[in-house]
Amino acid sequence: MPYAFSALRDAPIGLFDSGLGGTTVLSKLAKLLPHENILYFGDTARLPYGDKTPAQILEYSAAILKWMASQGVKMVLMGCNTSSALAYPYLNSLPAFNFPIFDIIRPFAQNLASGKKTIGVFATPASVKSDMHKKMIQYYHPNIEVLTVSCPEWVSIIENGEIEKAETAFQVKKYVEPIIEQGAEALVYGCTHYPLLGHIFRQAIPDYLSHIEMIDPADFLIQKAMQYLSDHDLLRQNIESLGKTQFYVTGDTQLFSDNMQRIWGNRQHVEHASLLFTEKLKIV
């Protein structure tokens, strides 16, 4: 086997988000592909992405992909709906990157079961403004009615360690109840931070959740990534050793490590990374 090819199998899978949200993708990815090396990148210095302009989101996402390229990744997963909505269509069309890039919206929209007639999608203000979840779902399933809801407070609640505050249940109910009253039969976590509120959803609206399906687009993204790696013979072969996950953030490393401890119950070593914003990277 040529050396370069076997080295590529050991290369990490890059996964990024603005902050903690992508760790909900990571936890599922690491369970399904325990032998893979993963590079997690959180752009915590610039979060939340949800209140940024399309040009900013594109610029940040492009810089993260450049950083990923410098680390020699074998694939990049966008663990961020906001980047997927606003930056993916452009970045994926550039010949600049020699690894596949998968976003979190398209695999979900494409593989969603067609039976659901009305679904509610909770997402960041920037994602909702782009209308990308609705456009993609209806591109593949024109008969599904999509109700999108902008939830501007939820990312800060999670990043500020306020998930367990009493006020959070109110913040969840305030957006979820009207959507259920409008007839949603399934609810979609249209931002990777939101599954971290899953237990609040269940506490806040127990009667509804018994007959309403919760959908996490991360499940579809991971299936897509697994299929690609398998089809291209790129799965790591060394199955005697577990893969390693390395964490990089652009903001406070201690804060991110503390948040990981609080949310996932394990302390991680977190490194600082800087993004380079040169004139060349300013592509808009």
Catalytic residue numbers, as ranges: 80, 191
Strand 245-249 relative to strand 186-189: parallel, antiparallel, unpaired? Answer: unpaired
3-state SS record for 43-75: CCCCCCHHHCCHHHHHHHHHHHHHHHHHCCCCE
Instruction: Quote the least distance from Cβ 133 to ligand DGL, whole Å.
Output: 10
Distances (CA, A) of 54 to 106, 125, 130, 234, 277: 18, 11, 9, 33, 16
What x-and-dash track marks residues 50-69 binding ligand DGL by CB under 6 A?
x-------------------
Interface residue with ligand DGL among 11, 15, 29, 47 (CB under 6 A) is 47
Identify the residue whose tokens are 């961020």. Answer: 80
Site for ligand DGL in 14-43 (CB under 6 A): 17-18, 21
Q: Interface with ligand DGL includes 124 (CB under 6 A)?
A: yes
Site for ligand DGL in 214-253 (CB under 6 A): none
Structure tokens belonging to residue 205: 């609206």
Q: Interface with ligand DGL includes 260 (CB under 6 A)?
A: no
Q: Which is nearer to ligand DGL, 47 or 101 (CB)?
A: 47
Interface residue with ligand DGL among 191, 225, 234, 249 (CB under 6 A) is 191
Please tell me the distance from the alpha carbon of residue 30 to that of residue 27, in angstroms, as a whole number.
5
Q: Interface with ligand DGL includes 149 (CB under 6 A)?
A: no
Q: In what order do the strands lie in the sheet with 75-78?
A: 101-102, 75-78, 13-17, 38-42, 245-249, 270-272
Please tell me the distance from the alpha carbon of residue 3 to that of residue 187, in angstroms, as a whole number.
46
Interface residue with ligand DGL among 61, 148, 192, 250 (CB under 6 A) is 192
Where on the chain is the footprint of ligand DGL (CB under 6 A)? Answer: 17-18, 21, 47-50, 80-82, 124, 127, 155, 191-193
